[in-house]
């Protein structure tokens, strides 16, 4: 159980709860349970999914997605305190991770906190993050891929005053697009990993599913929209672009808005990454269509990626994701605001390891993906995985490349980081601006990130968000403590 009021121990950087931490602003129940959904004509499809219910507070803060296997969309404000009771009613142990949220360790969904089917876990934390598109999903060790694939995931949207002042498209014009690939058998059953090779490369489905349902056509008005795109696929990389060659106008990323709109022809989006897009249909006539596609790219895994990959949508191929059809011409807003949000930049000069960044080598070792040669252990923390509260650090993820190399979307729990360098690799366009919590590291690439361990001590995770890799153990603990490095070495030696 989460310690009540633990979030009140926050430092000065993050806002405190508006209600002096005495009462939650929102109390909800999130139940994971088996369900059956009419995804296609014929038989129903069995899924596992989250259902939500507001117990106290504004019922509009949880919205069901119609006809979707996804859980309810949370809409919360920075500074609000939320208490969420997770009721695990699937026949497996589980726990929820609030992806991208800065929460105390006991609210972070570490696999050591899993509860068996039939039991509950109560989260209680204050929303510390900037406005942005975050999400939630299960995090039991070895079972995350299976549970997310089965339907367990949902969006967690945060707003704040700075974002609200921008008056971005809202309501029906603020459109989430959660992209997941899935394979279905002839009788509409979900099909997951069929052989060890698919587990090693990551599972690729036969079709792109949008917002937890089969239809990918959206009827829109001839005006501007905010599209919140989450790649919630288990392992699939996307290279997003518009079908008519227009540029992407990118407003935000994992950790919220950029300082100004980024205009690019295409962008890579790895598993767990988010992009906020400004989409403008104002220049289109009634009946006109335009699509978001995944454009061709070299998945970079060489012969390894080809083996076991039986998907009808091969990695790196070109296919349509979402089609928009204009049903009503309208003269709406056509340009995003000049300036979006204030963006603090972490200074590498302030990093305690400025001259000696931590290096994490991402390597395949006889079909086993590893980080610095290690795999997951529930409680183990190596000396190079211990960091000090209050410090700023530079970490480097090094994907060594070679025959066995595969892309690894690396995720760090408990904080947002900034990308300060990307070297080598195939040279695609990545969204390395703003605040991130997941970053794609392609074969042969070295990605340098900077982060600050501000106000929560304890055990967190960093791992590959290719969920098959994660379940195979490409995940490790890191420990935030107030001890100095020298103290930690002594402690580690003496146990
Ligand atoms: Cu990986």
Q: Is residue 339 part of a domain?
A: no
Q: Is residue 239 part of a domain?
A: yes
What is the 59 CA–ligand 1 centroid distance (Å)?
38
What is the pLDDT, as a whole number, of residue 219? Answer: 97
What is the 470 CA–ligand 1 centroid distance (Å)?
7
| Pairing between β-strand 81-88 and β-strand 26-37 as defined by DSSP bridges | parallel
Q: Is residue 285 part of a domain?
A: yes
What is the 226 CA–ligand 1 centroid distance (Å)?
30
What is the 149 CA–ligand 1 centroid distance (Å)?
17
Q: 192: which 2 tokens?
A: 């997951």
Last residue in a domain, options 159, 190, 219 = 159
C-alpha distances (whole Å) from 330 to each of 223, 226, 298, 323, 333 are: 6, 16, 39, 19, 9
Q: Is residue 279 part of a domain?
A: yes
What is the 15 CA–ligand 1 centroid distance (Å)?
34
Last residue in a domain, options 269, 298, 329 = 329
What is the 12 CA–ligand 1 centroid distance (Å)?
35
What is the 464 CA–ligand 1 centroid distance (Å)?
5
What is the pLDDT, as a whole number, of residue 283? Answer: 86
What is the 472 CA–ligand 1 centroid distance (Å)?
9
What is the 316 CA–ligand 1 centroid distance (Å)?
16
Q: 324: which 2 tokens?
A: 């928009």
What is the 277 CA–ligand 1 centroid distance (Å)?
26
Phi, psi angle pair for 161, to nearest 5°? -65, -40
What is the 48 CA–ligand 1 centroid distance (Å)?
24
Last residue in a domain, options 261, 294, 329 = 329
What is the pLDDT, as a whole number, of residue 367? Answer: 85
What is the 408 CA–ligand 1 centroid distance (Å)?
4
Residues 36 and 154 reside in one and the same domain:
yes
Q: Is residue 89 part of a domain?
A: yes
| CATH code, 318 | 2.60.40.420
Q: Is residue 383 part of a domain?
A: yes
Q: How far apart are CA 50 and CA 97, in angstroms?
A: 13
Return the HEC string of the chain.
CCCCCHHHHCCCCCCCCCCCCCCCCEEEEEEEEEEEECCCCCCCEEEEEEEEEEEECCHHHEECCCCCCCCCEEEEECCCEEEEEEEECCCCCECEEEECCCCCHHHCCCHHHCECCCCEEEEEEECCCCCEEEEEEECCCCCHHHHHHCCCCEEEEEECHHHHCCCCCCHHHEEEEEEEEEEECCCCCEECCCCHHHHHHCCCCCEEEECCECCCEEEEEECEEEEEEEECCCCCCEEEEECCCCCEEEEEECCEEEEEEEEECCEEECCCCEEEEEEECCCCCCCCEEEEEECCCCCCCHHHHHCCCCCCCCCCCCEEEEEEEEEEECCCCCCCCCCCCCCCCCCHHHCCCCCCCEEEEEEEECCEEEECCECCCCCCCCHHHEEECCCEEEEEEEECCCCCCCCEEEEECCCCEEEEEEEECCCCCECCCCCECEEEECCCEEEEEEEECCCCCEEEEEEECCHHHHHHCCEEEEEEECCCHHHHHHHHHHC
Q: How far apart are CA 86 and CA 23, in angstroms?
A: 18
What is the pLDDT, as a whole number, of residue 472? Answer: 97
What is the 130 CA–ligand 1 centroid distance (Å)?
28
What is the 474 CA–ligand 1 centroid distance (Å)?
7
What is the 70 CA–ligand 1 centroid distance (Å)?
24
Q: How far apart are CA 375 and CA 378, in angstroms?
A: 10
Give Cα 419 distance to the centre of its chain: 16
Q: 399: which 2 tokens?
A: 């994907």
308 Cβ contact partners less than 8 Å away, ≥ 6 residues apart: 195, 196, 197, 198, 200, 201
What is the pLDDT, as a whole number, of residue 22? Answer: 78
Residues 147 and 183 reside in one and the same domain:
no
Q: 450: which 2 tokens?
A: 């900077």
Residues 193 and 126 reside in one and the same domain:
no
| Residue linked to tokens 């990545």 | 430
What is the 445 CA–ligand 1 centroid distance (Å)?
13
What is the 453 CA–ligand 1 centroid distance (Å)?
24
Phi, psi angle pair for 469, to nearest 5°? -65, -45
What is the 163 CA–ligand 1 centroid distance (Å)?
33
What is the pLDDT, as a whole number, of residue 426? Answer: 86
Residues 130 and 21 reside in one and the same domain:
yes
Cα angle: 66, vertex 49, 92; to 5 degrees: 175
Residues 135 and 176 reside in one and the same domain:
no
Q: Is residue 443 part of a domain?
A: yes
Tell me the pLDDT of the chain (495 aa) as tens digits: 333 333 333 333 444 444 445 799 999 999 999 999 999 999 999 999 999 999 999 999 999 999 999 999 999 999 999 999 999 999 999 999 999 999 999 999 999 999 999 999 999 999 999 999 999 999 999 999 999 999 999 999 999 999 999 999 999 999 999 999 999 999 999 999 988 888 888 999 999 999 999 999 999 999 999 999 999 999 999 999 999 999 999 999 999 999 999 999 999 999 999 999 999 999 899 999 999 999 999 887 655 555 556 789 988 999 999 999 999 988 766 789 989 999 999 999 999 999 999 999 999 888 899 999 999 999 999 999 999 999 999 999 999 877 778 999 999 999 999 999 999 988 899 999 999 999 999 999 999 999 999 999 999 999 999 999 999 999 999 999 996 655 555 544 443
Q: How far apart are CA 57 and CA 27, in angstroms?
A: 6
Residues 75 and 182 reside in one and the same domain:
no
Nearest CA to 242 among 153, 320, 325? 320
Residues 120 and 26 reside in one and the same domain:
yes
Phi, psi angle pair for 16, to nearest 5°? -85, 160
- The model's pTM is 0.93
Residues 471 and 368 reside in one and the same domain:
yes
406 Cβ contact partners less than 8 Å away, ≥ 6 residues apart: 201, 202, 300, 301, 304, 305, 364, 369, 443, 466, 469
What is the 42 CA–ligand 1 centroid distance (Å)?
36
What is the 237 CA–ligand 1 centroid distance (Å)?
11
What is the 201 CA–ligand 1 centroid distance (Å)?
8
Q: How far apart are CA 438 and CA 454, in angstroms?
A: 19
Residues 184 and 321 reside in one and the same domain:
yes
What is the 410 CA–ligand 1 centroid distance (Å)?
7
Residues 355 and 295 reside in one and the same domain:
no
Q: How far apart are CA 6 and CA 137, in angstroms?
A: 22
What is the 363 CA–ligand 1 centroid distance (Å)?
9
What is the 465 CA–ligand 1 centroid distance (Å)?
6
What is the 469 CA–ligand 1 centroid distance (Å)?
5
Q: Is residue 165 part of a domain?
A: no
What is the 63 CA–ligand 1 centroid distance (Å)?
32
Residues 211 and 324 reside in one and the same domain:
yes
In total, the chain counts a number of residues equal to 495
Residues 175 and 150 reside in one and the same domain:
no
The count of domains in the chain is 3
Domain containing residue 183? 171-329
């Amino acid at each position: 159980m989460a310690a009540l009021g633990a979030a009140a121990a926050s430092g000065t950087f993050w806002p405190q709860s508006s209600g002096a931490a005495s009462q939650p602003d929102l109390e909800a129940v999130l139940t994971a349970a088996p369900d059956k959904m009419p995804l296609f004509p014929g038989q129903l499809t069995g899924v596992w999914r989250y259902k939500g219910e507001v117990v106290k507070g504004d019922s509009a803060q949880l919205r069901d997605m119609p006809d979707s296997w996804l859980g309810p969309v949370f809409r919360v404000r920075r500074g609000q305190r939320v208490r969420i009771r997770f009721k695990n009613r699937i026949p497996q142990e589980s726990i929820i991770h609030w992806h991208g949220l800065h929460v105390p360790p006991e609210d972070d969904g570490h696999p050591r906190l899993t509860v068996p089917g039939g039991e509950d876990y109560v989260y209680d934390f204050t929303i510390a993050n900037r406005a942005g598109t975050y999400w939630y999903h299960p995090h039991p060790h070895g079972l995350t891929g299976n549970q997310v694939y089965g339907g367990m995931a949902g969006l967690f949207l945060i707003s704040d005053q700075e974002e609200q002042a921008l008056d971005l498209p809202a309501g029906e014009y603020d459109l989430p697009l959660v992209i997941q690939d899935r394979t279905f058998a002839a009788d509409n059953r979900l099909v997951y990993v069929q052989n060890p090779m698919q587990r090693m490369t990551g599972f690729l489905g036969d079709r792109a599913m949008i917002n937890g349902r089969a239809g990918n056509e959206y009827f829109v008005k001839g005006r501007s929209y905010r599209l919140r795109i989450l790649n919630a696929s288990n392992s699939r990389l996307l290279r997003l672009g518009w079908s008519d060659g227009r540029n992407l106008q990118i407003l935000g990323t994992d950790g919220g808005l950029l300082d100004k709109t980024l205009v690019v022809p295409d962008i890579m989006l790895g598993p767990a990454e988010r992009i906020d897009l400004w989409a403008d249909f104002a220049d289109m006539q009634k009946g006109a269509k335009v699509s978001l596609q995944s454009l061709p790219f070299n998945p970079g895994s060489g012969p390894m990626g080809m083996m076991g990959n039986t998907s009808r949508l091969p990695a790196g191929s070109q296919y349509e994701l979402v089609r928009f059809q204009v049903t009503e011409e309208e003269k709406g807003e056509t340009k995003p605001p000049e300036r979006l949000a204030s963006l603090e930049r972490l200074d590498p000069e302030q990093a305690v390891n400025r001259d000696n960044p931590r290096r994490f080598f991402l390597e395949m070792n006889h079909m086993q993906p590893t980080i610095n040669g290690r795999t997951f252990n529930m409680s183990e923390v190596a000396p190079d995985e211990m960091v000090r509260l209050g410090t700023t650090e530079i970490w480097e993820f090094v994907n060594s490349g070679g025959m066995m190399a595969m892309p690894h979307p690396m995720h760090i729990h408990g904080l947002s980081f900034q990308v300060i360098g990307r070297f080598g690799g195939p040279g695609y366009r990545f969204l390395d601006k703003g605040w991130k919590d997941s970053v794609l590291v392609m074969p042969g690439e070295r990605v340098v990130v900077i982060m600050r361990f501000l106000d929560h001590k304890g055990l967190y995770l960093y791992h590959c968000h290719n969920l098959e890799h994660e379940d195979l153990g490409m995940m490790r603990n890191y420990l935030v403590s107030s001890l100095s490095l020298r103290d930690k070495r002594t402690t580690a030696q003496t146990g």
